[in-house]
Chain A
Amino acid sequence: MFLLLALSSACNDAGYALVSISPIYGWVDGCNPVTLSGHGFSDEVSASVGGSDITGITYPEGKIDKGFVVYGTMPAGQHGYADVSLRSGGETSTLTKTAGYYYVECPGAGTMEAVSPAGALAAGVLVTVEGCGLDSGAVAARVVSADGLVQSADLPLVSMCGTATVSFTAPAMPDGEYYLELINVADGAILSGAPCPPPDSGDTGSSCTDQKLTYGGAE
């Protein structure tokens, strides 16, 4: 009896489980890449968060991570915690509550996190803006010099992924340094993009992000 028990378990199998998602939080707008980790993943998995599918599931190429990790893109969600589920080999494993995913409310329309490319710009280059609250119908882009004396016309945004990723075509501008501003189409108000103030000595808490753009030359 003992021997049978021993032999029946004589394989190093840690079973199947979804253990974590990384990062564990993001804007309600979604569209950010995530890594789902655990063990015992099959070659065909599906995943969801808060009942919506996590899209673009891909698998690691190297054998080290195969079966332990998959990648995906988050859908938009409601502010607060959302359960994350992964289905593999007919089984579903779920991370709930604080072990799940947290959708953070977007602080406001036109919130920028990253701009690419930001250097060596020229007219016609497609510039991608990532952030939240980037409603292509309500927000436009504007390229402004540091002293504010030179600025482009308002540039329409095109959605690449919901309200999290948009793009615009770089206008023709003289070589030099500029800032990207996002404008409320309805009233022309600047939503984001003003140069950040210089930090105080020892200031460790600033969250201000200014988006420089450079026309001409390599950065």
Chain B
Amino acid sequence: MITLLALLVIPYVEAAQSGSLRGAVTDETELGIPGATVVLSGPLIAGELQATTDDEGNFRFVSVPVGTHDLKVFKTGFPGAERKVRVKLGETAFVGIGLTVGTEVVVIEETLPALDTSRSSVSTELSKEALDHLPVGRSYQDVVNVLPGVSGRVDTSSGGPSDGNPSVRGEGQYGNNYLVDGISTRDPATKTFGTNVNFDAIEEIQVYTDGAPAEFGQATGMTVNVVTKDGGDEHFGSVGYFLNTAASSGTYDIVDLATHEEVATDKREFLTHSLSLLAGGPISKEKVWYLASIDLGADNSVYEGQDPSSPYSAYDGGGFAKVTWFATPDAKLRYQFNGQLTDIDNLLTSSTVLPEAQEHYQSTDLGNQVEVVWRPGIFTEIDLKGIYSVSKLDVSPMSDDAETPQIFDSESGQYTGNASAFDYNTRSRAGFTLTGTQLASGKTGDHRVKAGLEAWQLSETRELDYTGPGDGLIGTSAEGYPCTGPDYTDCYTRQEFLYVGPLTHRAIVFSGFLQDDWQPVDVLTINAGMRVDYEALYTVQGTRILDQVMPAPRLGVAWDATGDHKTKVTLNAGQYYDVNGAAFAEWGDSKSSAGYDYYYGPYSQTEAYFSQGAYPLVFCTEESFATLDDEAQSAAREACNGELRPYHMDKAVVSVEREIFPTVAVGVRGILSQTVDIPEDINYDDVNWVITNPENKRRDYWALEFTAEKQFDKHWQLLASYTVSESTGTLPGQFESASASDYGGNGNEVGVWADDIGSAETRAEYFDAGYGEYVAGYAGLGSYTNEAGYYGYLPYHSLHSVKVNGSYTFTTGAWNHTVGAVYEFDSGHAWQKRGWVPNYQDYSALPEGRGTRFMPSVHYVDLHFGESFEWGKSQSAEVAIDIFNVLDLSEAITYYENDDENFGLTLYRQEPRSIRASLKVNY
């Protein structure tokens, strides 16, 4: 047991993100050597870090910058020892150093243990250096697909290839939190990733898929922490050029919506150019560091079936800059800026959209971060981070025509007229986190206590401006309104937008956490934590309509079963809440006089069901009830399943891992989770709705996972996994945040549950009054009594998943030759038939139940070949070829789900083979 923590002789300040290092210095009889001096230095450390071993020869560094450092050990009467050590984010690496009397300085190869035996969570650190040896996309969103439990190859929300928002452990595409340098950048409204980060500016990506400690919250899926490079005391930089192009010609069969057949269709053609510039180093050594990065890209594509006269054409640019000032040896100040711009012509790549109906897309993400780190004592650290980020999105018709309505040709199934809408959308995130870390040691063992406070404002301001005649009134088929012709044949679906904004909805979040990594004995660490989030949602008028407290305890045990840091047995259990965000406030605000709403109706058949205006929708909260009169309040309370509760996930993980060779570990883990209290809107008296917690609405997940990992070194790396899992539930995502307008959603948008026409008696009245069409589609949509319909496999479920990622590098003279490969197999995602719901005028029912069908199994094979030449101290040039989908496989990944003539036909296939050629010079 480490009974006395090492003294830090020279105070230091950590980099933005850090890990820990501990170790033991022993003699040839493996007895600890007290009083040895341990020095950690390198270009990523301002100055150097020193510690002295305790009575048992142990030492410990509380926080060390992520990266590779030089560690030296000195002790009178013994030879010195030197070695390289790599510190990973959030991990406590253990180093054992043996000194033998009578020898010269011992230079030890970098052979760190593969296991962090003090951590019970499932976390993977992907270093940028290791990722450069693998055939993966150049974005942090893409590279996480190499991890077990991450389902990101297919866009399970809209169908087709990935959109950069994977589902993790069955929690859907909206369940992940994305941090940059330790602070959340997640989109405050859509709850997807909030910003890109220039890939060459990334040092390491840490991903918690299970059991994240209490300092991480507001996610039920994974937590991704992107750690950017820091300047350092030595100048460095790179210039890279990347060219991507299709490498597969010809056709494959996908659905033709007009002829209802799979027809030979030209594969996607594309050509993208990217330029990446990076520079970093000291402005003043050990005082001020800088890092700057610029990415520029252009993408010109013609997607399958897209009209080649209006190709998808995108330009993007990213700027990243960071300045770190070491004000004193005990304090530093960091400021960083991240800006991303994207401009796209002809955004809609579907064959159903003709050029005159195309849209223009422009987005701007601007983020500012400030961090102050202060170390008042050698075992204490205080870290204050702040962020203000704004994302602006403008979508408008390519024609810039705000008058001509969109025209949908029901014969051909194509959009032949103007695009439908202008959408101006601004989302902002402002917040800070204050974290304190304290090391303590005593009779009960060692403690690493971390406590923190957070405050956030998440807001979305949205303005929708629909083209067409009238105030927010558009036609989608035929001509004329109101119905004037005989037999009502010219009637058409009406969408009446009562309010179009701009509308601002806000969420305010306060959080606190306390966690203790307690090591009562050397071989046992207890990770205990408690996190509490409080969230309040505000309407357009600023009225608070919801506030919730979310207490989330976490407890984990990590046992070094063999006492040599080579066997780890863990048990981790915890509760995880996600915040609701601004979009949730918008959902519950449709009764607001400033809200917007729409309704449909088959007017040629019956009277409009929602006869006038916005339908009342309230949260099951006192604040929301207060907006109703007494009678309405009483009815709403009766319809609610108690006070609206925040949804949360309970998860348990058990694992055993063993280092079988130096730096090589194998393991097995079992994972079980259940997410409950998911909110839903329920109609309770034909007109009025409440957002409540239906009792049976939930998600379930279990997995058994086998892993093998060889840590990255200068020769090779391996990250392999086999996962057998089931992901089931009533709703794929958090709630109905996505539109229900497309036809390939794999069911993600078929999540409405418990929408119903009131009681059995009310439904009976509708049948008897001849309005049966309105409730017809509810069969299979999921009702109070029809569990078979709504509960089933979720769209990202596939029973078997195999992932093998590896690279091998060998050296001849100054040349390094690298071969990398990624193989992924999944046994087929779940899908289902989507039935027509007259009341929604949409295919959103589940006539056969959720997730009853399965896509074919899919293989992905990608390869990387790299040649690098080194010269001078740290100069190198790299040439690399990455081939994605080497075998040019074209298995179906999305079938057409709507129950019409196209049902079951292939909508999307695997992306055709493509090649990325890159040239990069580093200094």
Contact = CB atoms under 8 A, between A and B. Distances in A.
B789 A25 contact: no
A207 B607 CA distance: 10
Contacts of A24: 772, 775-776, 778-779
Nearest to A204: B603
Nearest to B851: A14
Contacts of A37: 780, 833, 835, 847-848
Contact of B772 (A9, A11, A104, A199): A104
Interface stretch (A95-103, A116-124, A137-145, A164-172): A95-103
A149 interface: no
B764 A97 contact: no
Nearest to B852: A39
Interface string B589-610: 0000000000001011011100
Contacts of B477: none
Contacts of A104: 767-768, 772
B847 A22 contact: yes
B670 interface: yes
Most buried by B among A17, A19, A198: A19
Given A68-B852, A93-B788, A98-B785, A21 B779 contact: yes
B788 A38 contact: yes
A64 B776 contact: no
A105 B767 CA distance: 9
Contact of A19 (B608, B780, B854): B780
Given A12-B827, A68-B848, A202 B779 contact: no
Interface stretch (B228-236, B554-562, B564-572, B792-800): B792-800
B784 A22 contact: no
B846 interface: yes
Interface stretch (B481-489, B817-825, B874-882): B481-489
Interface string A100-135: 001011000000000000000000000000000000
B847 A102 contact: no
A124 to B, nearest CB: 30
Contacts of A105: 768
Nearest to B724: A6
Interface in A2-24: 2-3, 5-6, 9-12, 14, 17-24
Interface string B666-704: 001010000000000000000000000000000000001
Interface string B56-93: 00000000000000000000000000000000000000
A100 to B, nearest CB: 9
Contacts, number: 138
A68 B853 contact: yes
A205 interface: yes
Most buried by A among B603, B704, B847: B847
How big is the A interface, by class? 35 or more
A80 interface: yes
B32 interface: no
A10 B799 contact: yes
B190 to A, nearest CB: 30
B512 interface: no
A96 B785 contact: yes
Contacts of B603: 204
A179 interface: no
Contacts of A95: 786
A12 B783 CA distance: 25
Contacts of A69: 848
Given A37-B780, A99-B779, A202-B482, A20 B488 contact: no
A40 B830 CA distance: 15
B809 to A, nearest CB: 34
A105 B847 CA distance: 25
Contact of B607 (A23, A81, A205): A205
Given A24-B772, A39-B848, A205-B607, A98 B763 contact: yes
B772 A23 contact: yes
Contact of A204 (B604, B768, B852): B604
B828 interface: yes
Interface string B486-527: 101001000000000000000000000000000000000000
B777 to A, nearest CB: 9
B704 A204 contact: no
Interface string B842-874: 000111110111100000000000000000000
B760 A81 contact: yes
A98 B756 contact: yes
A20 B847 contact: yes
Contact of A2 (B670, B778, B835): B670
Most buried by A among B486, B608, B784, B852: B852
B776 A22 contact: yes
A165 to B, nearest CB: 19
Contact of B828 (A12, A17, A25): A12
Contacts of A3: 704
Most buried by A among B756, B764, B835, B849: B849
A201 B490 CA distance: 12
Given A22-B776, A24-B772, A64-B903, A10 B783 contact: no
B770 interface: yes
B904 interface: yes
A201 B482 contact: yes
Contacts of A23: 772, 776
A98 B775 CA distance: 10
A17 B788 contact: yes
A167 B611 CA distance: 40
Contacts of B776: 22-25
B155 interface: no
A2 to B, nearest CB: 5
A111 to B, nearest CB: 11
B109 to A, nearest CB: 36
Nearest to A12: B854
B726 interface: yes
A68 B724 contact: no
Most buried by A among B756, B760, B827: B760
Contacts of A40: 852
Nearest to A15: B852
Contacts of B827: 12
Given A93-B788, A201-B482, A81 B847 contact: no
Contacts of A21: 779
A59 to B, nearest CB: 15
Interface string A182-219: 00000000000000001101111101000000000000
B655 to A, nearest CB: 11
Contacts of A6: 704, 724
Contact of B848 (A9, A38, A98, A99): A38
A80 B764 contact: yes
B606 A204 contact: yes
B792 A14 contact: yes
Contact of B789 (A5, A19, A97, A199): A19
A201 B779 contact: no
B581 to A, nearest CB: 33
Nearest to A2: B704
Nearest to A3: B704
A201 to B, nearest CB: 6
A93 B787 CA distance: 12
A22 B764 contact: no
B489 to A, nearest CB: 11
Interface of A: 2-3, 5-6, 9-12, 14, 17-25, 35, 37-40, 62, 64-65, 68-69, 80-81, 93, 95-99, 102, 104-105, 198-199, 201-205, 207
Sorted from nearest, which 9 A-B pairs have the closest CB atoms? Answer: A20-B780, A39-B852, A99-B786, A64-B904, A37-B847, A204-B603, A205-B607, A19-B849, A17-B788
5 contacts: A22-B776, A23-B776, A24-B772, A98-B784, A207-B770
Given A6-B724, A14-B853, A207-B770, 8 more contacts: A9-B724, A20-B847, A22-B776, A22-B779, A25-B776, A99-B785, A99-B789, A203-B483
